Structure 1
Amino acid sequence: MTPSDDSEDSNNSSEPIIPEKCQCKSTVTGKIYNFCYKLPENPKILGKRFSCDFVEEWEKIESSSKFLNLEKQKITDSVFVTAFSNQFVRNGMRLISSIRKSGYRQKIILYNLGIAEDNLRMLKENSCNLEIRNFNFSNFPPSMNQLKSYRWKPIVIAQVLRDYGSLWYLDSSVIFEKSNVSHVYDLVNCYGKVRKRPPMLTSYSRDIRENREPHENGWDQKIWEKNLQECRKSQYLLHGYSGHGILSVTHPEVYKYFPTNPGELKKEKAKMYDAGFVFAVNTRQTMMNIVKWYFLCALEEDCMAPKSAVLGCQFVDDDRFTTYAGCHRYDQSIINLVLANQFWYDRRYYVSQIVDFFHIDRAGTPGDFQDKMKCI
């Protein structure tokens, strides 16, 4: 079974047999869950079982998720989600104002990762349709408090995706710039229209395509039209290229949990994209093949943030794809690896390839955003 065959629209109620070594039993319901990741191209290859200590936390997500069927349901508007601490309040204000300036009136959910009371009050008083949720660190292991390992991000995304069906997750460094993103929604809404896809290209042919096609710049409508015809994209889409591959910046300890195909992962089509800007739809494919493993890795002590992991990279001879550069990108490494494994190690299928509606600014922008966060 290929990743595209294991679609969100499958209503097959039969449950696969879970190997005993992979079983985790809920103390609440008695249900047994499979906590071993399997390599999509070879399901016999299993990763190390994730800890059963937090099986009930995953059960809260899976049991309450109402999966969307994109053959019958269409995405038009999605909730906006962000999370930040007091250090990033100004950038967070800028993000909120950019969403409102672009004309979006739908709810923005802000997860409070440690915002001072006066700033919380200011955000509440000056924003419209803003829901503030306090991230409940006490429900999770102490390592969750280390904000720079970004373990909190998969939790935030899973919780909101469960509650709302589709979302834009945005780090505070994102600036939204376009009032109409239907061209992005079309990349998943095509599942309700396509009846016959062109044949899937071989890995070799896709290697050639990667070298010939221009890198995303704005909105290339010819590539977009091809993507609509093929309609094989993930319903968990990344957008901004990080400048290197996945293998070069992923700590080797991660592969204990997420086996992969190193030969494919080191190719240039297995590019890494920013984890801080995401469009996702709660389909069965998204939640069970992608978000579940992102979530469980965040709760595993040595998965998302192995003890020897560091951010600083040493790219030998500027090799950004084939050789490990001694660094790790935490949640970004994990979500890119899971997506690449699931979608043929080819960024074309797990990124939008559209970059005309946002930009990233981590440095901050001068100016006052306090009076610009209302709906217009």
Structure 2
Amino acid sequence: MRTKNFVLFLICIVGSSVFLCLVGNQRPSIQTIVTETHKQLSNLKNFKANDSNMFSENLKDAEEKRLVADEKYLMLLGFTENPRLYPDSVLKNTTLPLIVTHVSEDQEKHGIGFARNVQHFLPNHSISIYNLGLGQYELERVIYLCIQCSNAEKKPLLNEKDRICLPRGGELELVKHCNNSRCNVINFDYSQFPSHVEDDRLQAYRPLLIQDALNRAGSILYLDVTQRLHSGSYRTLCTMTNKLMGKGKGPGILAHATRHPVSSLTHPKMFGYFHTEPDAYYFLPMIEMSPLLLLNTLRIHSELMLPWVQCALTRDCLGPLGAQSAGCRFDKKPQYRYSGCHHYDGSALNVALGLMFQFEERRLVSLIYL
């Protein structure tokens, strides 16, 4: 009987000990859970506050129409304390200007035709073709025409893995149409820029690749990939280049003026980002994006390219709410009224140009017929 009582007593003690241990271990766990819950709630409040502040800041930027571009993007494109400027920093071992274009998806044939055409009429000029979306097969075909085998200077938008250099004398017949040392293909890396840059409708990539090429070469001729040169293009280009430089006093930019006022092809909300008004552009002719001849002088770098690139990196500047590229109505009177048709990057370039040249038409543009 005594043994039985002792065993029961021992079982009670052991059971009580186990129970106390379990209860004692739960308390810290409960306290930890409560603490972690409070911490998560606090983090959530901070996140909401930060998110709210960020949203408020973005809303404020949009309302005040400020050009906001992250410094890392600007530095990537050559906007530094000591920028590369003409004539001290230019592309060596080639005739300037550098010929620049870009190819998008399904533009393989245009790219090949462009390379052949330029190398035929301007054999001493180098070509840079920016790839914006060709597939691997199409890209390889273009590369056989346009191969870089020279030790070019560092390209901000071209990673080492993207530099493709094939040996001379490739198997394809297309190789004979390409002077390998004067032709290169650059893969444009969208991931290094804001997401809207990839929107083909906005064409925000165009100011960026033009600035990249201008930063590398010092002088460029931008042409649309569908444009073709002719037998008189070389002489015209020489004349235009001399005029562009103007013994150090040239405008730094030459383009083709249209008959349309800038105000008729630019959404009214864009002008606010440049702190100007549409009426200042009523009688200023719109210039075309191609051909575009540029010299990377200090003035072009800081007064034209910088605001143009900043606008391209600011989504609401380049494509204001309600803007569209189709549905132009040129029957509106007077003709300087907004036609309902916006030219996005082209409009931004023209607004920046007007400010740079203080709206003087005779200083703003010269005709280029290539």
Q: Please report the TM-score for the alignment, with normalisation by the length of structure 1.
A: 0.65
Q: Distance in 2 between matches of 1:179 and 1:249?
A: 32
**SS of 2:201's equivalent?**
helix
User: Which residue in 1 is equivalent to 2:71?
Assistant: 55
Instruction: Establish whether residue 186 from structure 1 lines up as the match of residue 242 from structure 2.
Output: yes
**SS of 1:275's equivalent?**
strand
Instruction: Establish whether residue 303 from structure 1 lines up as the match of residue 311 from structure 2.
Output: no
Q: Distance in 1 between matches of 2:331 and 2:286?
A: 19
**Conserved? CA contact 1:76–1:185, under 8 Å:** no
Instruction: Establish whether residue 283 from structure 1 lines up as the match of residue 297 from structure 2.
Output: yes
Larger Rg: 2
User: Which residue in 2 is equivalent to 1:329?
Assistant: 343
For 2:194, which of 141, 145, 153 is the aligned residue?
141
Classify 1:302/1:188 alpha carbon distance in 2 versus 1 (closer, same or farther; 3 Å).
same
**SS of 2:221's equivalent?**
strand
CA offsets per residue over residues 100-122 of structure 1, 9 Å max, x none?
12132332111110012112111
Q: Distance in 1 between matches of 2:349 and 2:229?
A: 22
Instruction: Establish whether residue 158 from structure 1 lines up as the match of residue 211 from structure 2.
Output: yes
Residue 280 (structure 1) shift: 0.5
User: Which residue in 1 is equivalent to 2:366?
Assistant: 352
Residue 314 (structure 1) shift: 4.0
User: Which residue in 2 is equivalent to 1:67?
Assistant: 85
User: Which residue in 1 is equivalent to 2:123?
Assistant: 104
For 2:228, which of 165, 175, 188 is the aligned residue?
175
User: Which residue in 2 is equivalent to 1:195?
Assistant: none
Classify 1:274/1:338 alpha carbon distance in 2 versus 1 (closer, same or farther; 3 Å).
same
Residue 76 (structure 1) shift: 6.0
For 2:272, which of 242, 249, 256 is the aligned residue?
256
Residue 86 (structure 1) shift: 2.3
Instruction: Establish whether residue 81 from structure 1 lines up as the match of residue 97 from structure 2.
Output: no
- Give the paired residue count: 264
Q: Distance in 2 between matches of 1:134 and 1:321?
A: 41
Q: Distance in 2 between matches of 1:107 and 1:86?
A: 23
CA offsets per residue over residues 322-371 of structure 1, 9 Å max, x none?
2111120011111011112221324432323232x2xxxxxxxxxxxxxx
Paired letter, 2:102: A
User: Which residue in 2 is equivalent to 1:44?
Assistant: none
**SS of 2:312's equivalent?**
helix
Paired letter, 2:366: S
Residue 302 (structure 1) shift: 0.5
Residue 171 (structure 1) shift: 1.3
CA offsets per residue over residues 256-304 of structure 1, 9 Å max, x none?
211235443101xx11121132111111000100000111111101111
Structure 1 stretches lacking a partner, 5+ long: 1-35, 37-46, 193-230, 358-376
**Conserved? CA contact 1:246–1:321, under 8 Å:** no
Structure 2 stretches lacking a partner, 5+ long: 1-60, 89-93, 146-177
Aligned residues with identical type, % of pairs: 24
Looking at both structures, which has the greater relative contact order when contacts are Cα pairs under 8 Å and sequence separation is at least 6? 1
Which runs of structure 1 show a deviation greater than 6 angstroms over 4 or more consecutive aligned residues?
none
Q: Distance in 1 between matches of 2:95 and 2:197?
A: 33
Residue 69 (structure 1) shift: 5.1
Q: Distance in 1 between matches of 2:306 and 2:251?
A: 15
Q: Distance in 1 between matches of 2:106 and 2:201?
A: 12
CA offsets per residue over residues 27-47 of structure 1, 9 Å max, x none?
xxxxxxxxx9xxxxxxxxxx8
Classify 1:65/1:176 alpha carbon distance in 2 versus 1 (closer, same or farther; 3 Å).
farther
Paired letter, 1:179: Y
Q: Distance in 2 between matches of 1:259 and 1:296?
A: 14
Residue 243 (structure 1) shift: 4.0
CA offsets per residue over residues 74-111 of structure 1, 9 Å max, x none?
x9621111112122222222222221121323321111
**Conserved? CA contact 1:238–1:279, under 8 Å:** yes
Instruction: Establish whether residue 130 from structure 1 lines up as the match of residue 193 from structure 2.
Output: no
**SS of 2:222's equivalent?**
strand
**Conserved? CA contact 1:245–1:320, under 8 Å:** no
User: Which residue in 2 is equivalent to 1:238?
Assistant: 255
Range 109-118 or range 99-108, more displaced = 99-108
Q: Distance in 1 between matches of 2:353 and 2:297?
A: 15
CA offsets per residue over residues 145-189 of structure 1, 9 Å max, x none?
112211001110111111111111111122122123211012123
Residue 319 (structure 1) shift: 4.1
Q: Distance in 2 between matches of 1:286 and 1:344?
A: 14
